[in-house]
Amino acid sequence: MRLEGRSVPDRPGEIRACLVVRNEMLRLQSVLDHHRALGVDRFLVIDDGSTDGTRAFVAAQPDAHLLTGEGRFAARRLGWVNAVLDAYCDGHWTLTVDADEQFVFPAFDRVGLRQLCRFLDGQGAEGLLALMLDMFGGGDVREAVHTPGDPLVETCPWFDPGPYHAVRAGPFPHVQFHGGPRARLFDFTAYQPRPPVLSKVPLVKWRRGRRYLMATHAITPLSLPPMLAALLHFKFLSDFPERVAVAIDEGQHYGGSREYRAYRDGLGADGGLVLRDERSLRYRGPDQLLAHDIIQASEAYLDFVAGVQAA
């Protein structure tokens, strides 16, 4: 990996985030702003040949560093990410997210990411499991027109409260979640055994030598607390049909973009798609997600939050 521009300072205690991007100007400012508000101090952004201004935008951010690598990303994803985490995140609590994901956790509207990490340190935890929660608009996907920098949850405020189910998996954390609107609307059986995996371990106290094994869906073993966070997933903006076509044409996603072939099959002849149905709910915040068991908190964490609020 090659670091473009200024060096990354040695500042113990910083909370860092690692993102991988390619032509993400539509979402990137909103995603960075969300994580800044949570408490991320520094962003390490790996660019995979963007041509839409993403590189210049990242280079202009005072709290972001642009990194580039040789070749195309699909063949080198894990190598790039693990190398950057080893080089710049050893000893740091680090979020590794995609450019269409926003990390949320129980009571994040009342305690920040730094306080969450302090709690996890006190519990001897080294990471936090999360459910990827697909977000969508109320009408046709092509109508979910986003203005860069606006809150993504205003563009796509709807989600499925369930069903979600877990299956046992080989790599740590030995579980994979499935469900939500993609399982409800798309037929993946011609391309892969199950709908897309929705479980990830995005927040980790990184130690040099740790390794993500399948994007952030799997990782070398570490200590996880009895809690569950979420990644609000903003795939379904108005550019979804175009991105599906590009993904299939380039074949850069997992398995030659076979997942995207199922998306293509599910789009209408005119590229239309409506994800909301009678079960869908409008997003109201972390307490709503907690009530629907989409995120989970331990008693020790709830006591911790109460103590923070009382202080």
pTM tops 0.75, yes or no: yes
What is the rounded CA–CA span in Å between residue 25 and residue 18?
A: 16
Nearest of 264, 234, 232 to residue 146 by alpha carbon: 234
pLDDT per residue over 136-193, tens digit each? 999 999 999 999 999 999 999 999 999 999 999 999 999 999 999 999 999 999 888 8
CB 179 within 8 A of CB 164: yes
Give kind and range of the element (H or E) at residue 249.
helix 240-250
Task: Examine the pLDDT at 8 and tell me if it is beyond 80.
Answer: yes
Q: What is the pLDDT of residue 195?
A: 93
Q: Which two tokens stand for residue 77?
A: 């994803």
CB 55 within 8 A of CB 47: yes
What fold is seen in the domain 2-310? Spore Coat Polysaccharide Biosynthesis Protein SpsA; Chain A (3.90.550)
What is the rounded CA–CA span in Å between residue 200 and residue 285?
A: 20
Q: What is the pLDDT of residue 77?
A: 75
Read out DSSP for 108-119? TTTS-HHHHHHH
When the pLDDT of each residue in the chain is averaged and rounded to a whole number, the result is 94
Under the banding of pLDDT at 50, 70 and 90, the label for residue 75 is low
Contacts of 305 (CB under 8 A, 6+ apart): 106, 107, 110, 111, 297
Burial class (CB in 10 A: 0-12, 13-18, 19+), 147: exposed
Q: Which two tokens stand for residue 310?
A: 């009382």
Domain locations along the chain: 2-310
Residue type, 259: E
Task: Examine the pLDDT at 102 and tell me if it is beyond 70.
Answer: yes
Give the rounded percent of residues in the chain with a pLDDT score beyond 90: 84
- The angle formed by the CA atoms of residues 104, 36 and 7, to the nearest 5 degrees, is 125
Under the banding of pLDDT at 50, 70 and 90, the label for residue 251 is low
Give kind and range of the element (H or E) at residue 69.
none
Q: How does DSSP classify residue 188? A: -
Task: Examine the pLDDT at 255 and tell me if it is beyond 70.
Answer: no
Under the banding of pLDDT at 50, 70 and 90, the label for residue 249 is confident
Give kind and range of the element (H or E) at residue 186.
none
pLDDT per residue over 189-242, tens digit each? 988 888 999 999 999 999 999 999 988 999 999 999 999 999 999 999 999 999
Task: Examine the pLDDT at 73 and tell me if it is beyond 80.
Answer: no
pLDDT per residue over 9-49, tens digit each? 999 999 999 999 999 999 999 999 999 999 999 999 999 88
